[in-house]
Amino acid sequence: MAKNEAPTIGVKLFVDKEKRKVLFAESDKEFIDVLFSFLTMPLGTIVRLLDKKSQMGCLDEVYKSVEDLSTEYFQTKACKAMLLKPLNAASSHCCRLRINIDDTVPRVVYVCKDTSCSAHSDNGISSIPDTVCKCGKVMESFGQCRKYDGDTETAPAACSEEGVFVKGCLKFIVTDDLQVAPASTSLMMSLFEKFGVRDPAVLEQQVVQFSSEKITCLLKRSLTSKQPLTEHYFDVPVPHDDASLGTLAQDLNPKQEDGDEERLGNLKIRVLQMKNNSALLYAEVDGDFVDCLFGLLSIPLGSVMKSFGQCSAKGCLDNLYKSIDGGAKEFVRQDCQSVLLAPKLPPWFGCRASKILQVDELAPRELTINACFSCFKIGRFSDCDRCHRYDYSRRYHICTNKVKSSKLCEANPKIQIGGSEKGDAYVNGKHTKFVVTDDLRVLPLSLASTVKIVSEAKIQTSNLVEKEITLTKSQVMELQRAVLLSRNTLSSVLLPPKKIKKLNHLRY
C-alpha cells in the first residue's frame, strides 16, 4: 500500500450467502473505537456529514432552517457557525482514531489581532469563527494550538494495548445490529445457534476494508437500518426518504414535576390547527422555542441516547450504546465510560436545549503560552520566542513587558458586541416571532409564509382554529424526542393521540 493512501480499517465479516445475511463481524479495537466515536458526535455534525439526509426525524429540516435563516436572527454570527459546525468535546480523543470522519478542526484559535485592543487584559481567544472580541473587532484565525491545559490525552502505546476508547489486544465481535462484545467461543456458538447455523463451513469469511467514506455510509445505515453490516456488504441502497416515520408511538416520557419545571417551561406558543384536531399547520413561536429546537444540533449523540434511549426511529445505535455499559464494558477504558455514555458539550455550547436534556458543558478551556499576549498577537504560535529575545547588537529586549507568559481563556462566542447578558441562547429571540411547520421548517413570521402554508394545506379556513399552548418542560422534552423520531413533530406531541392514529391509518 502506498504511504499516502487514505487509511482503511479491515474487518472480517461472516456471511451466510444463501440467506444474504452478515451474521457478525470480527475486528480489532480500531474499528470499535470508530463505531464508539459516533456517540461523541454532535447531531449537527452527523446531519452535515450525511449531507442533510440523516433521516433522523425532522433534524435535517432543522439544520436547513439554520442554514437558511439570516444571521440577524442569531445572537451573533458565530452562533450560526456553532450550530452548523458544532465542535466535539471529545475531539482530543477522536483525533487519535485511525479514521476520524468528523472534519471539524477544534484547535484552531481565533484572536483579536489588534495589539492595542481595549479588552487586552481579558486574554480572550475562541475556537469558533466570527467570534467578536469585546472591543468589537472580529477575531481572526491564529493557527492551531497543540494542546489545551488539562487535556489528558495519552499517546497510543507502542504495543497499542490502549486504544482510543477501548483497551486490550483482543478481537471483538460486532453483530449485524451493532452489539459489541469481546470475541469468545461461547458468544460465537450462541450466535450460530441464534441464526440456525448447523455447519459453520457454509459461512464465508470476507475481509472488507472500511475507508472514511464507507464509515460515513455505515453511520447512515446504522441510523436507518437494523442490519447495517448486511446492507453494507450486499450494497443495499439506503432509502432516500422514509415516509413511514408518520407518528411516533405514544409511550411518552413520564412527567417529572421538579423545580426546573417552572423555570424552563412556560414556553408559550400559538398553533394553527384543524378544529377536529386532525392536523396541525404551524406554530407561531418566539426565539426561546426555536432555541430548544436548534440547540439539539449541538447535542452529542450519546447524550441523546442517555435521555431517550434511541436517536432514530429505525436504526440500531441503541445497541452500540448499550454495549458500552454491557457486553464491552470490561474493555472500555475507565476514563472513557462517561465520554461515551454521557458526552459533554464543548465550552459555551450549553443552551436551553441542553439544559432540558441535562447535558453538561465543559468549562472554558485555558491555554498557557510562553509569551505575553502582545507578543502572541504578533508572533502567533510560531514565534512566541520574540517575547524573550534580546537584541545584543542594539542591547535591548524586543519586548519590554515584564510578564513573559499568559493564560489565554476562551471567550463566549454568543455574546454580542457590548452585550452584557449571560449569553447562552443561539437565537436572537425576544422581539422576533417565528413560524414552525409540523415538519420543523423554521421561518421568520411573515404573512407571506403563513399564507403559503395555509394555501398549500388546502384546508377550508373555516375548519381552522388558533390555539395558545403553554408548554411544560416535559412537553418540550417530548418535542425534542419527536424531532428525532417523527416527520410531524408538532402534531405528534401537541394533538390528541387518537386522532393522530386515525390520520396515520388513512395515510397507509
Nearer CB in complex with Zn ion: 137/433: 137
Interface residue with Zn ion, options 34, 117, 290, 324 (CB under 5 A) = 117
Smallest gap from residue 105 Cβ to Zn ion (A):
23
Smallest gap from residue 114 Cβ to Zn ion (A):
5
Smallest gap from residue 77 Cβ to Zn ion (A):
16
CA atoms within 13 A on the CB side of 76: 27
Distance of CA 399 to the CA centre of its chain: 43
Q: What angle do CA 246, 247, 248 make, to 5 degrees?
A: 130
Smallest gap from residue 145 Cβ to Zn ion (A):
18
Nearer CB in complex with Zn ion: 401/446: 401
Contact string 406-445 vs Zn ion (x = CB under 5 A): ----------------------------------------
Q: Would residue 400 be called left, alpha or beta, if left means φ above 0 and alpha means ψ between -120 and 50 degrees? A: alpha
Interface residue with Zn ion, options 79, 372, 408, 471 (CB under 5 A) = 372
- CA 347 – CA 366 distance, rounded (Å): 11
Interface residue with Zn ion, options 112, 223, 411, 493 (CB under 5 A) = 112
Using CB under 5 A as the binding rule, the residues of this chain from 296 to 335 that contact Zn ion are none
Grid coordinates of 370: 510562553
Smallest gap from residue 123 Cβ to Zn ion (A):
11
Nearer CB in complex with Zn ion: 133/274: 133
HEC-encoded secondary structure of 57-120 = CCHHHHHHHHHHCCHHHECCHHHHHHHHCCCCCCHHHHCCCCCCCCCCCCCEEEECCCCCCCCH
Grid coordinates of 194: 441464534
Binding region for Zn ion (CB under 5 A) out of 359-367, 370-378, 454-462, 476-484: 370-378
- CA 287 – CA 242 distance, rounded (Å): 30
Q: Which residue(s) pair with 268 in the sheet?
A: 470
Nearer CB in complex with Zn ion: 275/389: 389
Nearer CB in complex with Zn ion: 146/402: 402
Binding region for Zn ion (CB under 5 A) out of 108-116, 144-152, 257-265, 339-347: 108-116
Smallest gap from residue 409 Cβ to Zn ion (A):
14
Contact string 121-160 vs Zn ion (x = CB under 5 A): ------------x-x-x-----------------------
Smallest gap from residue 72 Cβ to Zn ion (A):
23
Cβ contact 80:20 at 8 Å: no
- CA 424 – CA 426 distance, rounded (Å): 7
Nearer CB in complex with Zn ion: 7/423: 423
Nearer CB in complex with Zn ion: 121/334: 121
Nearer CB in complex with Zn ion: 128/133: 133
> At which residue does the C-alpha cell 445572537 appear?
75
Using CB under 5 A as the binding rule, the residues of this chain from 172 to 201 that contact Zn ion are none
Binding region for Zn ion (CB under 5 A) out of 75-83, 156-164, 371-379, 422-430: 371-379
Question: For residue 318, what is the DSSP state?
Answer: H
Binding region for Zn ion (CB under 5 A) out of 19-27, 118-126, 275-283, 294-302: 118-126
Grid coordinates of 311: 436517536
HEC-encoded secondary structure of 436-464 = EECCCCEEECCHHHHHHHHHHHCCCHHHE
- CA 247 – CA 16 distance, rounded (Å): 35
CB-based contacts of 155, cutoff 8 Å, min separation 6: none
Please give the backbone phi and psi of residue 143, each rounded to the nearest 5 degrees, phi first. 90, -175
Smallest gap from residue 385 Cβ to Zn ion (A):
10
Using CB under 5 A as the binding rule, the residues of this chain from 375 to 404 that contact Zn ion are 375, 387, 399, 401
Smallest gap from residue 148 Cβ to Zn ion (A):
21
Smallest gap from residue 373 Cβ to Zn ion (A):
8
Smallest gap from residue 386 Cβ to Zn ion (A):
7
Using CB under 5 A as the binding rule, the residues of this chain from 24 to 53 that contact Zn ion are none
Cβ contact 73:65 at 8 Å: no
Binding region for Zn ion (CB under 5 A) out of 109-117, 163-171, 352-360, 448-456: 109-117
Nearer CB in complex with Zn ion: 130/361: 130
Does 266 bind Zn ion (CB under 5 A)? Our answer is no
Instruction: Say what the alpha-carbon torsion angle 93, 94, 96, 99 is, to the nearest 10 degrees.
Output: 160
> At which residue does the C-alpha cell 454580542 appear?
416
Nearer CB in complex with Zn ion: 119/208: 119
Cβ contact 324:497 at 8 Å: no
Nearer CB in complex with Zn ion: 137/226: 137
- CA 54 – CA 378 distance, rounded (Å): 43
Question: For residue 3, what is the DSSP state?
Answer: T
Total number of residues that touch Zn ion (CB under 5 A): 11
Is the CA virtual torsion 150, 296, 58, 252 positive or negative?
positive
Cβ contact 293:279 at 8 Å: no
Smallest gap from residue 365 Cβ to Zn ion (A):
19
Query: Which residues here bind Zn ion, judged by CB under 5 A?
Result: 112, 117, 119, 133, 135, 137, 372, 375, 387, 399, 401
